[in-house]
Structure 1
């Protein structure tokens, strides 16, 4: 598999857009990286990078080559995983793209539980919006995506889909804390600290407001749910989050989640996705099965 070394060099140059930065990533000299790329282009019979004053970028041929390289990486990882499984050693690597909501509670717990069974499996978790996560699935950068937001694509298989409505996130001492549920109009009695409009949850929240003829602007917006949670913990503001990203009821922290009445909201959907027709490694396939089961046990399927 000596060719994989060259593939890793090409992949690093494509990701960094620079011979020098790729060399730093790979612990090689820039001249060694340059020679490897040049030799690969000579073997192909055409260049795959455009040389720019600020670095390099893939040309059209290079995009095709990179897609092939990442397919090879995925196939090699699948082979290694199967060989390890055959030998009784449960090894492998699982690359995941996920929405921010999965990062604080659900995914860490699922990975920790999985690694108690298979401690030699490694993980790469990338927090991305649902469009970038889907692109990462398509170009073999990740094995699977768990994202909030729906866009049907012919290249993507949706393995599981569960309903995710929106909850109000408030400080533990807030007047709304401790309620079984709140109405949307009650939430609007307090300052709103909301995610940017690029987030699916914000779009659904705004859609629900418009449907009811309500218009209360947020006094604070952020692209970080961690910041929003920290902000409401020390103010009387209300943030929003989906249940999978909200603190669980048993959590003893500075914030709590209060469900907003279903009849007031446009429903949302969390999906588990992989590339259509792709055969995952044993480690990744087992993890997908685990996530699918966990989602179906905790939330209403769509």
Structure 2
């Protein structure tokens, strides 16, 4: 797989913009790495890097080479999975990007179920909300993206789409604790915790707050749903999260926001359009889509 190693060297320099930094990461001397790149450029018949005073930068040809490298690595991973299947052993690696709302128990549960059947498959889960999650597909950093209210993305093939309610979280002894939907105006009579604008659920909340013509008392604002959920247990505030992301805790009351105030939130499982996924990722996507359909 000598050619794949050369492609790995090129990708390393493109990623770091530095021969020295890439050489350290790839465990090769800078002079040897320079020769590898020069040999490749000579064979290609065209330079792929701009040599700048501050380092190396891929030119237009280099960007095409980088996309070729990403495709080659993806194809090789798929080949390894297919060869493993010939012997009846499913191997592979599944990189997946997900919104925070799925990181608490949905994905841990699904990964556990898959690895119970195929223990030789490994996973890399990175928490990326909204646009960064879509970008992880385009950059081949993730095979799959499980996202809340993703932005329009023509390069994403949707494998599953559904809707779940946005919920109000409060302590079980909070005055609004109970069952069934709760109106947003009632929540706003109490201090609240808000997700910051990097999280997808903030946009529909902002629209609803504007429509309610209310000035909420914001006790805490954060890009961490876990922090807000844990702080909710410490003070009589109300925070917000999609239903699928909330663990079942006896001290936590979870009530859906009335649909008259905020419509259910869209959740999407997607992959890069036109890409043939490695077998392990494709099979996990099938399992995950079936599970999401039961929520």
TM-score, normalised relative to structure 1 = 0.89
Greater shift, 169-178 or 158-167, is seen at 169-178
Distance 1:217 1:120, change over 3 A: same
Counting only pairs closer than 5 Å after superposition, residues 217-232 of structure 1 correspond to structure 2 as 218-232=218-232
Of 38-47 and 57-66, the range deviating more from structure 2:
38-47
Cross-structure match for 1:118: 118
The whole-number CA distance in structure 1 between the counterparts of 2:86 and 2:219 is: 57
CA gap 1:192/1:42 in 2 versus in 1, 3 angstroms: farther
Residues 68-94 of structure 1, C-alpha deviation per residue, up to 9 Å, x if partnerless?
110111111111101101111111111
State the shift of 1:50 in Å: 3.2
Distance 1:171 1:32, change over 3 A: farther
Q: What per-residue deviation string (whole Å, max 9, x for no partner) do you get for residues 120-178 of structure 1? A: 01111121122122122123222111111143333221111010221112234433334
CA distance in 2, matches of 1:183, 1:3: 61
**Which residue is 2:285 aligned to?**
288
Task: State the alpha-carbon separation in 2 of the partners of residues 243 and 54 from structure 1.
Answer: 48
- Post-superposition offset of 1:62: 1.9
> How many residues are paired up?
295
2:108 is the counterpart of 1:108: yes
CA drift of 1:40 comes to 2.4
**Structure 2, unpaired ranges of 5+:** none
Structure 1 gap ranges (5+): none
Residue in 2 that maps onto 1:36: 36
Deviation of 1:54 after TM superposition, in Å, equals 4.4
- TM-score, with structure 2 as normaliser: 0.91
Aligned match of 2:149: 149
213-222 vs 88-97, which moves further? 213-222
Distance 1:267 1:15 in 2: 39
**Which residue in 1 is equivalent to 2:188?**
188
CA distance 1:49–1:212, change in 2 (3 Å): same
CA contact (8 A) 1:247 1:257 kept: no
CA RMSD of the aligned region, Å?
2.1
Q: Is the 8 A contact 1:208 1:266 kept in 2?
A: no
Which residue number in structure 2 is paired with residue 45 of structure 1? 45
User: Is residue 75 of structure 1 aligned with residue 71 of structure 2?
Assistant: no
| Residue 12 of structure 1, CA deviation | 2.4
Separation (CA, whole Å) in 2 of partners of 1:217 and 1:30: 57
8 Å contact from structure 1 (residues 150, 271) kept in 2: yes
- Tell me the residue number matched to 2:166: 166
Q: Can you list the C-alpha shifts for 1:18-53, whole angstroms capped at 9, x where unaligned?
A: 333333333333343333333323332333233445
Does residue 84 of structure 2 align to residue 84 of structure 1?
yes
CA contact (8 A) 2:134 2:153 kept: no
Match of 2:206 in 1: 206
